[in-house]
Structure 1
Amino acid sequence: MSPFFRLKTAAARAANRLRRNQSASAAVEFALVAPLFFALLFAIIETGLVFFASQSLETAVQDSARTIMTGQAQVADYDKQGFKKNVVCPNVSVLFNCTSGIYVDVQNYPSGFGSVTIDDPITDGNFVDRTQYSPGGPCAIVVMRLFYQWPLFVTRLGYNIANLSGGERLLSATAAFKNEPFNGGCP
């Protein structure tokens, strides 16, 4: 028997033993699948958090809009910062940094719902703060919006739901309503 034949036979036996031994195959398969699995898991969690935060912002705008609709904000003579501090911030959840992160936009339209125009707050991938505070009088049409720039983390892994540059998503919530006839009725 030649030395080459013996080497070939020994190599074939070793290969057969390796093929039969599958003790580490699960670990190798998991190592191949784990990064994709965890990326998908974190993307699902982040998407859920974004939807939860968006719903929390919607609830805050509905609760805050009620004080304008009933005339309480007008009687209290709030300015933009006073309305944010006294009405909006108590209504937002712990998910948001109310003092510096929430933007409040309140505009009134005395001539009806047909005159309502809403501008896009995103310009060239950046949030442009054009917010104002004008709650209107009795029976005025009012549109109240809240904005929050939500930071995203999984977007750097290829899953991108950001609509702002810098890996953030602008969350917005809107309420459109007609003020009640407070202080004696409609003009």
Structure 2
Amino acid sequence: MIRLLKSRLARFRRDESGSPTVEFVLVFPLYLGLMALSVELGMVTLRHTLLERGLDMAVREVRLGTGSAPSHDQIKVLVCENAVMISSCESNLRLEMRPADIRVFTALDATVDCTDRSEESKPVREFTPGQQNQLMVLRACLKYDPLFPEGILGSALTKDVSGQAAIVSTTAFVQEPT
């Protein structure tokens, strides 16, 4: 009986038929996590690029416009029209614009004012349309839902109470004279 048990244990120890399964079980979750991280990072990059493009195109129209100062809502519509693939852009985008003095430049506040689904709608933080030849600083904050909120990148993002993360883009321009 003991000899039979020893021979079966020795045969079991020499058998390598299950070793690829062990490697797969150990390595596959790592690859799956890296793939999810890559997809999430790609979507964040795409959203940020589209927001930058929309902001640049809107600023170009404002800068080369008729000289009339556009309103907050008009610029928001311009940004969202040019940032083509961002879902719910107008409800998740918040703009802040103020004039800046080129001789004594002060940056915008470090705290970015974004939309938040869990709070009541807030009025515009500061939106001062510029005049001719005036330097303007425009900041856009876009809130979005991460694809994998509990994934590697999704859990590392700073999110609000409703689970949305923010993308912030800032630009400066000089309003052209008419």
TM-score range, shorter chain: 0.7 to 0.9
1:131-170 equivalences in 2 (<5 Å): 131-159=125-153, 160-166=155-161, 167-170=163-166
Q: Equivalent residue of 1:180, what SS?
A: coil
CA distance in 1, matches of 2:139, 2:5: 73
Query: CA RMSD for the aligned pairs?
Result: 2.6
Q: Which of 86, 90, 93 is the aligned partner of 1:99?
A: 90
Q: Equivalent residue of 1:18, what SS?
A: helix
Determine which structure has the larger helix proportion and give its number.
Answer: 1
Q: Is the 1:113–1:141 contact (alpha carbons within 8 Å) kept by the matching residues of 2? A: no
Alignment partner of 1:31 is 2:25: yes
How many percent of aligned residue pairs carry the same amino acid?
Answer: 22
Range that drifts further, 152-161 or 9-18: 152-161
Which residue in 2 is equivalent to 1:90? Answer: 81
Q: Is the 2:97–2:136 contact (alpha carbons within 8 Å) kept by the matching residues of 1? A: yes
Change (3 A) 1:96 1:106: farther
Q: CA deviation at 1:31?
A: 1.5
Q: Is the 1:142–1:176 contact (alpha carbons within 8 Å) kept by the matching residues of 2? A: yes
Q: Is the 1:80–1:104 contact (alpha carbons within 8 Å) kept by the matching residues of 2? A: yes
Q: CA deviation at 1:153?
A: 4.3
Structure 1 segments (4+ residues) deviating >4 Å: 126-130
Deviations along 1:95-149, one digit per CA (max 9) or x if unpaired, are 332121111222223x4363333012348xx899653332211101111121111
Q: Is the 1:138–1:181 contact (alpha carbons within 8 Å) kept by the matching residues of 2? A: yes
Q: Which of 4, 13, 24 is the aligned partner of 2:7?
A: 13
Q: Which stretches in structure 2 are left out of the alignment for 5+ residues?
A: none
Report the count of equivalent residues: 170
TM-score, normalising length: structure 2: 0.79
Q: Radius of gyration: which is bigger?
A: 1
Which residue in 2 is equivalent to 1:80? Answer: 72
Q: Is the 2:112–2:141 contact (alpha carbons within 8 Å) kept by the matching residues of 1? A: no
Q: Is the 1:150–1:170 contact (alpha carbons within 8 Å) kept by the matching residues of 2? A: yes
1:104-143 equivalences in 2 (<5 Å): 104-109=95-100, 111-112=101-102, 114-122=104-112, 131-143=125-137
